[in-house]
Amino acid sequence: MDMQPFDLAELVPQPEQAGPADVSFSQACRLSDAGPAFSIRDDDGRLVFTGGFVELPNDSALVWSRIAALTPREMVRVTRMVRAVIDEADYRRITAHVRTGHAGGHGWLRRLGFRREGTMRELEPGMDFDLYSRLKGER
């Protein structure tokens, strides 16, 4: 389903995404306007994922996401849905950022077919992030 800016306020993120990375409503509005964005709810209607693309020059995009704390089974379902969206995306290059110490985020990006390119020191004050990318047709 299409993401609405209020979805980011509703979603309770996994502990690794809480805190300094919290997203304000104005930031949520900018994200929803920056490119295609979508949300996923579980069978009980709980919002478990919001994410999308920030469209960049040269037929590329930055992918972003906020994920709730999920069981392994729920994570498999969300991963399959997100992978399908990324597989169908019509961008030549898609990049993603993940906090350097967020091991689960690194593993998830690799499961989605991304490759690590390097570390971006202090992308946010006091926090390093790693850059991942995926080219069209890579899985």
CATH number, position 74: 3.40.630.30
Question: For the residues 76-100, what does the mean pLDDT come to?
Answer: 93
Which residue range(s) make up the domain with 38?
5-135
Percent of the chain with pLDDT over 90: 46
Distance CA 42, CA 76 (A): 12
Question: Within 13 A of 30's CA, how many CA atoms are on the CB side?
Answer: 6
Compute the distance between CA of residue 61 and CA of residue 74 in angstroms, rounded to an integer: 26
pLDDT in tens, 17-55: 765 445 555 565 666 677 788 889 888 988 899 888 999
* Number of structural domains in the chain: 1
